């Protein structure tokens, strides 16, 4: 069953249709919100609001796909969150307590992950959202263009500049990774 069919059934009050859409898009939208805001609690709230916004009229199957509509809705919620708070949230620093010594690979990966998080957070918002949607959500340039309301060429340009910035910022890490492979 297509997303558009599920949407129509959901709008008519069909709970199973809503569950199907929720199950399909919960994790991708949460991940996007988490990477944009840096907070799991905020990402939870925004994911909740994003799905409830489906109850309001707004999606038109002739104009866009439900997938890009949802990502665009989440993008707008993230931007509203920035305006309301005046800043992005600091990244969660909660660590799961563990009595067992962490494996070296896990430690290195966690360190690299933190470095990447800081590098992406340092990007301008316009470049950050393009990187997140392309590298992590694996959306196409055309889909990102629809979500961000820009031309495909602008998406390519922002992605290119973002990657250049990330390479400069993460140069040390990239070199260490390349050395480890030799």
What is the binding site for other proteins (CB under 8 A)? 11-13, 15, 18-19, 22, 26-27, 30-31, 34-35, 40-41, 43-44, 47-48, 51-52, 55, 109, 112-114, 116-117, 120, 131, 135-136, 163, 166-167, 170, 173-174, 177-178
For residue 113, the minimal CB distance to other proteins (Å) is 4
- Do residues 78 and 121 make contact, with C-beta atoms less than 8 angstroms apart? no
Q: Would you say 72 or 121 has its CB closer to other proteins?
A: 121
**Residue among 131, 102, 137, 138 at smallest CA distance from 116:** 131
Give the span between the Cα atoms of 96 and 110, in whole angstroms.
13
Q: Would you say 85 or 106 has its CB closer to other proteins?
A: 106
Give the span between the Cα atoms of 6 and 50, in whole angstroms.
16
Q: Would you say 90 or 149 has its CB closer to other proteins?
A: 90
Q: Would you say 154 or 174 has its CB closer to other proteins?
A: 174
With both helix axes pointing from N to C terminus, report the angle between 171-181 and 104-121 in degrees, rounded to the nearest 10. 150
For residue 109, the minimal CB distance to other proteins (Å) is 5
| Helices and strands in the chain, H and E counts | 9, 0
For residue 167, the minimal CB distance to other proteins (Å) is 6
């Amino acid at each position: 069953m297509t997303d558009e069919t599920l949407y129509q059934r959901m709008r008519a009050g069909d709970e199973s249709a809503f569950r199907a859409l929720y199950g399909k898009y919960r994790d991708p939208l949460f991940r996007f919100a988490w990477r944009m805001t840096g907070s799991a609690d905020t990402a939870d709230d925004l994911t909740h609001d994003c799905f409830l916004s489906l109850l309001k009229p707004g999606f038109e199957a002739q104009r866009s796909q439900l997938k890009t509509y949802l990502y665009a809705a989440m993008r707008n919620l993230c931007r509203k969150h920035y305006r309301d708070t005046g800043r992005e949230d600091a990244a969660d620093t909660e660590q799961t307590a563990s009595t067992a010594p962490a494996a070296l690979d896990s430690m290195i990966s966690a360190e690299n992950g933190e470095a990447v998080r800081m590098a992406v957070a340092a990007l301008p918002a316009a470049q950050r959202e393009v990187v997140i949607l392309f590298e992590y959500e694996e959306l196409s340039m055309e889909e990102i263009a629809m979500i961000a309301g820009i031309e495909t060429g602008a998406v390519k340009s922002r992605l290119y500049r973002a990657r250049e910035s990330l390479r400069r910022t993460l140069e040390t890490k990239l070199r260490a990774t390349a050395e480890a492979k030799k």
